[in-house]
Structure 1
Amino acid sequence: MTNNNASTAEMQNPERHSSVAPGEIAIGVVIGRASEHFDFFVFGIACVLVFPSVFFPFVSNLEGMLYGFAIFSMAFVARPFGTALFMNIQRRWGRSVKLTTSLFLLGTATAGIAFLPGYNTLGGASIFLLAMFRVLQGFALGGSWDGLPSLLVLNAPKAKRSWYAMIGQLGAPIGFLIANLLFLYLINSVSSEDFQAWAWRYPFFVAFAINVVALFARLRLVLTEEYTQALEESELEPISTREMLDKQGPNIFLGAFAALASYALFHIVTIFPLSWILLGESQLIGKVLVVQVFGACIGIVATILSGVIADRIGKRTTVSLMAVLIGIFALFAPMLMGGTPAMQDAFILIGFALLGISYGQASGTVTANFERRFRYAGAALTSDLAWLFGAAFAPLIALGLSVHFGLMAVSLYLISGALCTLLALRINKHLEAAD
């Protein structure tokens, strides 16, 4: 009798659509997010291993990395503007035009980098074109938001929504794993001269191919009648950015800062160690990439585990607890990264474990605050700002300050992110209590 009542309650729940299979949505979500993150990680790794010698040979290796990281950050600055532009395209011409255009732009920009001659051939124009392609990547990524993560959570069983929420986050460690494996293979397969001359371009070609596959996988979902109906029933509408900021501005910024601990840790664990170790010449770069491959695997397991933990103790409690642990981890960052190769490896592996659990539940921490019709655009813009505030400048700030003032700069950066998360979650709790 109890089961029948529960079934009736679920059928009456307007947020649940039995016609949509969460498993099918999950496949599209993972493919889409993994392809996007692969693009960005390929660029980030290239900023350390390739760009200093190819595009900035006129400065020191350190300065070349810092210039590369500055260009790396441009995509995150451009991303909110891309979201605004492509939301307008979707309102006028539909979801398929928006998604096709954005992913075509992303693939074109990525392929453009693959074909781009270096500084010794084009001079300063090569740097300008690299920056332009990077900005286009950011614009395109802002337009690639398809609403599938939101639809996935809305159609998931209520008791397992945190589990389904982490599925979209799996794309980050998977994308990083593939990018690292590819660079590791190239470094072990060709000479350092050949790698710098031409082999580094192959990951960008692969990124273009993956984008094509991801495009068709996602279009197959979002253009079918049942998914279109489910999106409409869930009121996942492309609201204009101006209206979003006007009516939901506090919730957007609160959501971005609630995720800041995870996003601050993101590039500190994935990109920064590579640059720091390469500059200090404390380990062979191939060995570091192997450690990061294991770290990515730990991150995948930890992300999956985050869904189990959050379903038991709650999403907000999980994110808060991880912010505290990230703050504690930050205190040991100078000792670990400034220590032996084994200690540096420990920093990477422990960092990935924390990142997986934290990042796995970072999205949608305060999504419930949005009115239903604002969730689609609100989730996209909140994610854009979280990346911008937390991750965009992390490699640039961490490396630049650490070289001049010591590794305590990394600690302060991570602690500031953890404090922002705890404060935002505290404010959100009070707002919900007031309502």
Structure 2
Amino acid sequence: MSQATANGSFERDIAVTNADRHRLDPSEIAIGVIIGRTSEFFDFFVFAIASVIVFPARIFSFTDPVTGTLYSFAIFALAFVARPFGTWLFMTIDRRHGKGVKLTIALFGLGTSTVAVAFLPTYDQIGMAAVWLLVALRIGQGISLGGTWDGLASLLAMNAPEKHRGWWAMVPQLGAPFGLIVASGLFAFFHGFLPKEQFLDFGWQFPFFCAFAINVVALFARLRIVATPEYVHQFQRRELQATRLRQTVRSYGRFIVIGAFTPLASFALFHMVTVYPLSWIALFTDDNVTHFLIIEGFGAAVGAIAIITSGFLADKYGRRQVLWMCAVLIAIFSGFAPSMLDQGTAGEIIFMVTGFALLGVTFGQCSGAVASNFPRSYRYTGSALVSDLAWLFGAGFAPFVALFLSDLFGLIAAGAYLLSGAICTLLALRYNERVEYSEE
């Protein structure tokens, strides 16, 4: 197969401009990774925040706020259900046309699906059609997210110094707090400075408008790395080859299952400190939503610092030990921390700062927990599947389940849900003897 066929003419043209480059510097790869992940998580958090403070009023105005938010969270989960199908579709495009074509279609699809949400009519205007349009756009987001897997995290791991792979492993995860800081900041600004009627009329749309522009910047940042001769060379050597999903599942299904359950504690906590608390504050307290969005942004900054710290801890003690200890601490956290959300501003700050600090350490090292189990020729597709399933099982339905249970039984039920995620992680770590990244 010719290089033009394998990588696509679009990728080849970009590669010409990088012809004098022979080795990729990890710090340069890191820039593309962070920008790419930030754009993905920004789209994710914009929809999540709107699911609490916008959609119940505009799309589900026919029911009470709690039920409307539960409906919003159910639609929110559809992206995680659709994402594995997107992975299958875009892996096919990857094999036939190259990563440049794949990323271009996926990121434009993600940006278009996100910005189109801003133009949705309300339920009062077009009835149930508004709900079905929101469903379609959320599924479009999920399918597109399945195509944004670019292999840059694996490339970063393979180019990182052996003694500092824990440090470089945390770099892709920084996109999550950065995306939340931008999303919560934008919503806090428009929610805080506009009257409620104007915010629900047009103010909420601006964060969605930003999504397309951010995705375009992310596309070019990633293509600049993907189309370099070194990356193409590694792709041709099948080190980052898009293999068939059926073949990958048949050969390494055990590693995929273990990999999907290993980060459940981290992903359950992820939504317990990002999406769920906002719904509890908005629905069951009289606290100011704008102020909580600011607290959330501050918590995300703490989370970013904790992610960086995880790199030092993993290099010193090992990734397995870090994940194991964090799972134990998350189990302890689940027993008392959720009740802090009912203790006013001070309790909210304690919950968010503590939760984000714990999340940052575990989230910083969970993404590649079983990457070394896959041979290099299967790592690209295997890692994508692990990521899809981990988010589906650990995070996709977390806001819905946590809100549903806490509405019925109180905050203690949300803590029990988080505890179940910690137990799953401990069991997965117990059965995964090769969780270290020494072979990456």
Q: TM-score, normalised by structure 2?
A: 0.92
The CA deviation at 1:338 is: 3.0
1:237 aligned residue (241, 248, 252)? 241
Letter of the 2:251 partner, please give it. Answer: K
Residue aligning to 1:299: 303
* Structure-2 separation of matches of 1:431 and 1:179: 33
| Matched-pair contact (CA < 8 Å) for 2:372–2:434 | no
* Structure-1 separation of matches of 2:25 and 2:108: 28
Residue aligning to 1:215: 219
* Structure-1 separation of matches of 2:240 and 2:351: 40
Letter of the 1:358 partner, please give it. Answer: T
2:161 aligned residue (145, 152, 157)? 157
Residue aligning to 2:345: 341
The CA deviation at 1:283 is: 1.1
- Label 1:431 to 1:339 Cα distance change in 2 as closer, same or farther (>3 A): closer
* Structure-2 separation of matches of 1:107 and 1:307: 31
The CA deviation at 1:337 is: 2.3
Residue aligning to 1:148: 152
Per-residue CA deviation, residues 106-163 of structure 1 (Å, 9 max, x unaligned), is: 1111121111111111211111010100001000001110000000011100011011
- Please list, as runs of the form range in 1=range in 2, the aligned pairs for 1:290-369 lying within 5 A after superposition: 290-369=294-373
* Structure-1 separation of matches of 2:322 and 2:308: 13
Q: Give the % identical residues.
A: 53
Residue aligning to 1:32: 36
Letter of the 1:87 partner, please give it. Answer: M
* Structure-2 separation of matches of 1:281 and 1:424: 37
Per-residue CA deviation, residues 354-397 of structure 1 (Å, 9 max, x unaligned), is: 00001000111111111121111111110111100000011100
- Please list, as runs of the form range in 1=range in 2, the aligned pairs for 1:353-432 lying within 5 A after superposition: 353-429=357-433
- Please list, as runs of the form range in 1=range in 2, the aligned pairs for 1:237-256 lying within 5 A after superposition: 237-256=241-260
* Structure-2 separation of matches of 1:231 and 1:332: 48
Structure 1 segments (4+ residues) deviating >3 Å: 230-234
- Label 1:409 to 1:430 Cα distance change in 2 as closer, same or farther (>3 A): same
Q: What SS is found at the alignment partner of 2:366?
A: coil
* Structure-1 separation of matches of 2:184 and 2:379: 34
Letter of the 2:61 partner, please give it. Answer: P
- Please list, as runs of the form range in 1=range in 2, the aligned pairs for 1:267-306 lying within 5 A after superposition: 267-306=271-310
1:108 aligned residue (112, 127, 144)? 112
Letter of the 2:33 partner, please give it. Answer: V
* Structure-2 separation of matches of 1:240 and 1:333: 43
Per-residue CA deviation, residues 33-84 of structure 1 (Å, 9 max, x unaligned), is: 0000000100000000100011011100111110000000000000011001
The CA deviation at 1:293 is: 1.2
Q: Are 2:205 and 1:201 equivalent residues in the alignment?
A: yes
The number of residue pairs the alignment matches comes to 416
Residue aligning to 2:179: 175
The CA deviation at 1:201 is: 0.7
- Measured on the aligned residues, the alpha-carbon RMSD in Å equals 1.5
| Matched-pair contact (CA < 8 Å) for 1:282–1:341 | no
The CA deviation at 1:348 is: 1.2
Q: What SS is found at the alignment partner of 1:115?
A: coil
* Structure-1 separation of matches of 2:191 and 2:283: 17
* Structure-1 separation of matches of 2:411 and 2:114: 33
Letter of the 1:193 partner, please give it. Answer: E
The CA deviation at 1:418 is: 0.7
Q: Are 2:48 and 1:52 equivalent residues in the alignment?
A: no
Q: What SS is found at the alignment partner of 1:198?
A: helix
The CA deviation at 1:430 is: 8.1
2:70 aligned residue (66, 69, 79)? 66
2:265 aligned residue (255, 261, 268)? 261
Q: What SS is found at the alignment partner of 1:361?
A: helix
Per-residue CA deviation, residues 301-343 of structure 1 (Å, 9 max, x unaligned), is: 0000000111000001001100000000000134312333311
| Matched-pair contact (CA < 8 Å) for 1:151–1:234 | no
Q: TM-score, normalised by structure 1?
A: 0.93
The CA deviation at 1:233 is: 4.0
* Structure-1 separation of matches of 2:432 and 2:183: 36
Q: Are 2:87 and 1:83 equivalent residues in the alignment?
A: yes
| Matched-pair contact (CA < 8 Å) for 1:333–1:407 | no
Per-residue CA deviation, residues 169-221 of structure 1 (Å, 9 max, x unaligned), is: 00001101100010011112211111000110111110111011111111121
Letter of the 1:407 partner, please give it. Answer: L
Residue aligning to 2:11: none
Residue aligning to 1:11: none
Letter of the 1:378 partner, please give it. Answer: G
Gaps of 5+ in 2: 1-20
The CA deviation at 1:30 is: 0.1
